[in-house]
Structure 1
């Protein structure tokens, strides 16, 4: 990059400004401006992990169903994705997303539906625990066992340092537990061997811990900031930044500050189906303190989006539910565990109820994508340099076999093809050209400039060479 005097002066001004900022919450913004002047763009990840499996057949675009789906063998159970002996790589342009994925239609050109990978180095059943993100066998039905090594979100947190290396948010604790209200260890993320990562189940506490302390510099002031406008604590530094920045920099600062301002509106605006279901329920005065699962989950997505936009973290993970969670806000009176056993509920088949839940998850992911897409970064937007990863810790079904492990990838990370608007299905387990979730995680590491040949442990029943390196189909 060729530097002119104006560019050099801006860099010097930003360096001088760094020493004048008193609140940590503004430092990521200044650091980001300095990085952009050097021609460097950040990478960020949001992992959304659901329980009870992610049904492969329900992710197939409507136009492809006759060719790629076969009917369920038992009434009430979902249809089945046909096995494939070849790689299927189709553009999503011109295809209709299935009903549960429709909220992502505005971002279809940055969405990859990824099927055909396996993870049989992990345990099946109700949860693979750390294995889902770490590629190894651990735990049993009721316990996660030990973290044998870092999971992919923990590895990325180590590779992408920030004020908070990893932000974990959840509704519940371990997979068989219900909604919690404190810091928990769900047994799915780890920074390294025997270093499990915590998740905050209480949105109010997550807000305070992440933004209150970072904005005020102390826990006591953070308590007060929950009742005040968060930005009041940063007025002096904000004015100083506005004086030093040019018009383009001030515009970026406004987007940055908007991430915090959005958290001040804590009343949910219900729409569509959920508004109809809950029209007789009491008005939500504060979704962060609500006991309704959908309110709490929306709060977690708000917090994760703000944390990524603000730059206080580059890696966030949301544990979307556990088996004992009941989506009352969606008119579903049976917990996720029962739905996984094909139990009908409120006039719906279990599959219809699971699709309703998945659609709600996609609505939340769509809201995060919209916020990221609204923020300019480099020659594009934040969404171009972010990857949102949606999966289940139970692979493809409630009692997982792990021979199929579906993913949704939304975003771009600039140089990658991960979000290129594609339906990508690898050859099924046992076929030539098959790959594993370890290959996918190797791909993520390549995106952040930390290439590695093997992630986690190998499946000893398939060719080791197929499990090495990244997925070339997702690399530019």
Structure 2
């Protein structure tokens, strides 16, 4: 139990010229002589869904046993958080396979990842996928936050036509978040736009533009209010405020660097203002913004697409710096090429671990953000060389308020358990109980 002398609302926002700064959880948000669990400050669950195309290198990601295992090569970056990690193998992504009588779909249905429903084959406006679990969860836990959910991307879809391939609309590869089967939500590429949505005043574009023109920090705009709040705060709350505001300043600094870099980009390169030119900085910045949004309770639900299908992107910071992602996935069952491809897979997990580390280091009520979150990461392919949609990799990270155990490998019989069963079980963990979702046939044992 926390006892405090001064109580402030969990929804307190500091306002300045064209800026609004939501606050992290503070002890002062708990009324005196009130148990944390009995207040609105009781830690809320969070959900993150991350999709990556092109599967994983066979032989490099499945643990050797169900508990107490040494982390396999690809998942090695998550080993420091093993008590919060559950690896799932054997699942079947049936929703990524073509509908009966249809062709294609192998590379065009990322939209099925969070709904387990086969998208309608169309290149027109009559798209149809499914109501995704991130949006179902947001309807449950995100309606009293500034942003019910955040959808993030790190690869620009703008160069594609409306017909992405084999008769499937680009929208099926451009987003994994659907508010309804016919309502896809855009994934935001630009961290600067995300930051403005998080901390913009919400009044007029002119005010926000004026603040940017003055080149003032959002923190500078609310410094007076922040100073008064800190003067009235406990030592522990002042420390939390200092840590939080330092995170805001660091992100502002990095956004300024990205904006300056974009203005000197080659004339033949389309680089939106505020978008970092390297994947490494881009995805870390997006994840840092998401963690900051969780910390300030601006949102409780987020999704991110690591890569779009058929991307030839290389990852210079990985141990396979010149290998294109899609080309590397067609390894021809050559052990040397499989080994090279596994290095891209591991690099992606390193980026996931960046988010996990941020969540683990951020205090939230009586624990950390990682203690109160569930992060889902997965693909709709198993062995990508053969475009196999069974034995697909998934991993869950986080404690979800004590509902998840870690250091586990849940192995299911191959070609038997659809990914819809995983999604249905995740909804259960958020106290959302449905009879089915997508291609589900039941719930997962032992999740």
TM range (shorter): 0.7 to 0.9
Select the residue among 431, 441, 446 that pairs with 1:449: 431
| CA separation of 1:38 and 1:241: change in aligned 2, threshold 3 A | farther
Select the residue among 60, 71, 75 that pairs with 1:101: 75
2:104 is the alignment partner of 1:131: no
2:149 is the alignment partner of 1:166: yes
2:14 is the alignment partner of 1:14: no
Partner of 1:110: 84
Tell whether the 8 Å contact from 1:129 to 1:139 is kept in structure 2 after alignment. no
Partner of 1:52: 54
| Structure 1: gaps of 5 or more residues | 65-87, 179-183, 269-285, 459-466
Alpha-carbon distance, 1:263 to partner = 0.9
Separation (CA, whole Å) in 2 of partners of 1:205 and 1:139: 31
Write out per-residue CA displacement over residues 207-254 of structure 1, whole angstroms, 9 at most, x where no aligned residue: 33333x15x754344444494433212223323432443333333333
Q: How does 1:267-286 map to 2 (within 5 A)?
A: none
Tell whether the 8 Å contact from 1:177 to 1:324 is kept in structure 2 after alignment. no
| CA separation of 1:17 and 1:453: change in aligned 2, threshold 3 A | closer
Partner of 1:351: 338
Select the residue among 404, 422, 444 that pairs with 1:440: 422
Partner of 2:45: 43
Partner of 2:178: 190
Alpha-carbon distance, 1:154 to partner = 1.7
Alpha-carbon distance, 1:313 to partner = 1.4
Alpha-carbon distance, 1:16 to partner = 10
Tell whether the 8 Å contact from 1:172 to 1:186 is kept in structure 2 after alignment. no
Alpha-carbon distance, 1:167 to partner = 1.3
Select the residue among 309, 313, 317 that pairs with 2:299: 313
SS at match of 1:423: strand
2:220 is the alignment partner of 1:257: no
Partner of 2:236: 248
Partner of 1:229: 217
Partner of 1:238: 226
| CA separation of 1:398 and 1:291: change in aligned 2, threshold 3 A | farther
Write out per-residue CA displacement over residues 354-394 of structure 1, whole angstroms, 9 at most, x where no aligned residue: 32222222222222222212222233211101122111244
Partner of 1:408: 395
Tell whether the 8 Å contact from 1:47 to 1:317 is kept in structure 2 after alignment. yes
Partner of 1:299: 285
Write out per-residue CA displacement over residues 257-289 of structure 1, whole angstroms, 9 at most, x where no aligned residue: 343133134299xxxxxxxxxxxxxxxxx9954
Separation (CA, whole Å) in 2 of partners of 1:295 and 1:16: 32
Q: Give the CA RMSD over aligned residues.
A: 3.8
| CA separation of 1:295 and 1:249: change in aligned 2, threshold 3 A | closer
The structure with the largest helix share of the pair is 1
SS at match of 2:316: helix
2:218 is the alignment partner of 1:207: no
Separation (CA, whole Å) in 1 of partners of 2:348 and 2:60: 14
| CA separation of 1:225 and 1:424: change in aligned 2, threshold 3 A | farther
| CA separation of 1:219 and 1:360: change in aligned 2, threshold 3 A | farther
Write out per-residue CA displacement over residues 383-410 of structure 1, whole angstroms, 9 at most, x where no aligned residue: 1011221112445536644332321111
Separation (CA, whole Å) in 2 of partners of 1:344 and 1:265: 45
Alpha-carbon distance, 1:177 to partner = 5.4
Separation (CA, whole Å) in 1 of partners of 2:364 and 2:14: 24
Write out per-residue CA displacement over residues 402-456 of structure 1, whole angstroms, 9 at most, x where no aligned residue: 33232111111122225x11122122224xxxx3322222222222222223122
| CA separation of 1:353 and 1:148: change in aligned 2, threshold 3 A | same
Alpha-carbon distance, 1:129 to partner = 2.7
Tell whether the 8 Å contact from 1:372 to 1:381 is kept in structure 2 after alignment. yes
Partner of 1:335: 324
Partner of 1:360: 347
| Structure 2: gaps of 5 or more residues | 99-105, 162-170, 257-271
Alpha-carbon distance, 1:314 to partner = 1.0
TM-score (norm 1): 0.72
Tell whether the 8 Å contact from 2:14 to 2:20 is kept in structure 1 after alignment. no
2:379 is the alignment partner of 1:392: yes
Tell whether the 8 Å contact from 2:58 to 2:338 is kept in structure 1 after alignment. no
SS at match of 1:357: helix
